[in-house]
Chains A and B, each alone.
Chain A
Amino acid sequence: NAGVTQTPKFQVLKTGQSMTLQCAQDMNHEYMSWYRQDPGMGLRLIHYSVGAGITDQGEVPNGYNVSRSTTEDFPLRLLSAAPSQTSVYFCASSYSWQGAYTFGSGTRLTVV
């Protein structure tokens, strides 16, 4: 049982480049979400999904897109990377939006 798997673990991008952070879970969780973690800011919600085909914006959605074509996968796309998007990104899933969240191991992204 792998839980929540995130790839890559580390990434360096140049300003203006685009990329996709991958997230997959094998627990048949309906609820999935993306957070970014910055020093002193805690975890801020970027986008979330309550089930396949349904996504919605969180607190800090600008510059990011998501899709949920299957229950298992919830990729996060950076459209045009900016230095302000340098952060650690966590994907999390839960059986419901009020349930316990299982987090992936994170992606450390640096935009130069």
Chain B
Amino acid sequence: GQQVMQIPQYQHVQEGEDFTTYCNSSTTLSNIQWYKQRPGGHPVFLIQLVKSGEVKKQKRLTFQFGEAKKNSSLHITATQTTDVGTYFCAGTNTGNQFYFGTGTSLTVIP
């Protein structure tokens, strides 16, 4: 079946440092979504990427979809304590199911 792998599983950064999480699929994805889950909370939708090579920005967050549509990344510039949480990617190729990655847990040290 389809697998969506996410690395790293954990990341600790000093406040102000940059952070990147990567999402890789064994198959070509039709689109990919990113979610953020605060500790003790529920996943919240951040963005969706559809086109090959697409890049989208939300303030300090930059999202990329690979040219082959098999990978994606989320980059946070100058992390803040409000960025703490787990970031999930979710992708789909065919059918009507999204497969979530295992998530990257981000800790920001003040």
Q: Which A residues are within 8 Å of any B CB, using their own CB?
A: 31, 35, 40-45, 48, 50, 58-59, 90, 92, 97-98, 100-106
Question: Which residues in B have their C-beta under 8 angstroms from that of A59?
Answer: 1, 99
In the bound complex, CA of A103 to CA of B42 (Å): 6
Q: Which residue of A lies closest to B101 (CB)?
A: A42
- Whether A40 and B99, one on each chain, are in contact in the complex, defined by CB atoms closer than 8 angstroms, is no
State the majority secondary structure of interface residues on B: strand
Given contacts A40-B102, A42-B88, A98-B92, contact A103 B97 (CB under 8 A): no
5 contacts between A and B (CB under 8 A): A41-B102, A45-B99, A50-B96, A98-B30, A101-B98
CA distance A101 to B31 in the complex (A): 14
Q: Given A43-B88, A90-B42, does the pair A97, B100 have CB atoms closer than 8 Å? A: no
CA distance A92 to B1 in the complex (A): 22
Report how far A41 CA is from B9 CA in the complex, Å.
Answer: 10
